[in-house]
Structure 1
Amino acid sequence: MTDCGCEKAQRELEEFLRNEVCKTQHTDIAEHLENCQGCRDEALVARTLTEVVARACKEAAPEELRDQVLERLRAIQATH
């Protein structure tokens, strides 16, 4: 395989991390990441951020907070 270069690796990084590139592109980008510390660091940041956001989206607000928000919304609606 040939090194795809930093520009292509960075441009297609999000798709690569979501496995949305073809097998050849995936191989080329993976090989580039193995040999380029800067792009590997960028991939690590992107992967970590994606995982943190995914976890945050799965978490539910505490029941008490939910009740407080609903109570406040009802109070606002009652005055309008």
Structure 2
Amino acid sequence: MSDCGCDKARRDLEEYLRNEVCKTEHSDIREHLESCPACRDEALVSRTLTEVVARACRETAPEELRDQVLARLREAQSAAHA
């Protein structure tokens, strides 16, 4: 295995984090991240951001809020058709 360098590691970081690179590239990028604090920090930020966004997408609005929104939409539709 050989260190792929910062340019390649950063260019392919998102694919690496989603396991969308071949095994050789994965190993090369992992090796680079182990030896480069700057790229490792960037990978940590990307991984954390991806996890936070994924968690936020799973959250749902409280039922009371959904009911209020639906009621207002129905009112708006009724007013538009009147």
Which bin holds the TM-score, normalised by the shorter protein? Answer: over 0.9
Displacement over 6 Å in runs of 4+: none
**Residue 49 (structure 1) aligns with:** 49
The runs of 5 or more residues in structure 1 that have no matched partner are none
Q: Give me the whole-angstrom Cα distance separating, in 2, the residues matched to 1:7 and 1:76.
A: 53
Q: Give me the whole-angstrom Cα distance separating, in 2, the residues matched to 1:68 and 1:5.
A: 53
Q: Give me the whole-angstrom Cα distance separating, in 2, the residues matched to 1:8 and 1:52.
A: 25
Q: Which has the larger radius of gyration?
A: 2
Q: How far 1:48 sits from its partner (Å)?
A: 0.3
The runs of 5 or more residues in structure 2 that have no matched partner are none
Q: Give me the whole-angstrom Cα distance separating, in 1, the residues matched to 2:37 and 2:75.
A: 55
- After alignment, is 23-32 or 55-64 more displaced? 55-64
Pairs aligned (count): 80
**Residue 75 (structure 2) aligns with:** 75
Percent identity of equivalent pairs: 75
